[in-house]
Homo-oligomer: A and B are copies of this chain.
Amino acid sequence: MAERRGGAAREDGAGFELPLLLFAGFRSLIDELHRDLAEQGHADVRPAYGYALQAVGRDGATASEIGRRLGVSKQAAGKTVEKLEGLGYVERVDDPRDGRRKLVRLTARGVDVLVRSAEGFDRLRARWAEALGADRVRAMEDDLRAMVPADALRLDAPGWFND
């Protein structure tokens, strides 16, 4: 505890603030990204859809696989895919080699969201790096990576993001 006196002697923030801050950070990034996306012609992308699209991936995937990647039931994944299909972000085609499977694939519009999301997130991260310093952002990421159990990287919670 190399604590300097003169202001720094104050007690650290209460422990309960940390999760709050982490969540608020997450939340504000997501919110800003979707504000950007809305301006770029993707007003109907809900935050959860973005991650679902990511789970589809460039090579496509089945609903069951998407559910596994997202950590939700295949039924839930199926419903999400249905919505995504209705919005024109994915298409479903029968797998000619396996009569059970229906491959979900990104449409051009779906790829566009993904590309714009990636750009948006990069832009947001760059803004943080500009405000805080690139090293601080990198440190934050490193520290979080260190403290977060590997399996917690999953996006398995259901409906956190609701704008």
Q: Mark A residues whose CB is within 8 Å of B.
A: 1-3, 5, 8-9, 12-31, 33, 54, 114-115, 117-126, 128-129, 131-132, 134-141, 143-149, 152-155, 157-162
Q: Which B residues are CB-close (under 8 A) to A149?
A: 28
A21-B144, A23-B22, A118-B3 are known contacts. Are A12 and B125 too (CB-CB below 8 A)?
Answer: yes
- Report the separation of the CA atoms of residues A108 and B146 in the bound assembly, to the nearest whole angstrom: 37
Given known A14-B118, A143-B140, contact A126–B9 (CB-CB < 8 A): yes
Q: What residues of B have a CB within 8 angstroms of the CB of A21 in the complex?
A: 140-141, 144-145, 148, 153
Whole-angstrom distance between the Cβ of A78 and the nearest chain B Cβ: 19
Asked, given contacts A3-B118, A118-B1, whether A128 binds B20 with beta carbons under 8 Å apart, the answer is no
Say yes or no: A14 contacts B122, CB within 8 Å: yes
Residues of B within 8 A of A153 (CB): 20-21, 24
Q: Check B28 against A148 for contact (C-beta < 8 Å).
A: yes
| Contact A30 B25, beta carbon cutoff 8 Å | no
Which 8 pairs show the lowest CB-CB distances between chains A and B?
A160-B160, A15-B121, A15-B122, A15-B125, A22-B26, A21-B144, A16-B121, A24-B148
When distances are taken between beta carbons in the complex, the residues of chain B under 8 Å from A125 are 9, 12, 15, 18
B1 contacts A114, CB within 8 Å? yes
- Given contacts A15-B124, A29-B22, whether A136 and B143 have CB atoms under 8 Å apart is yes
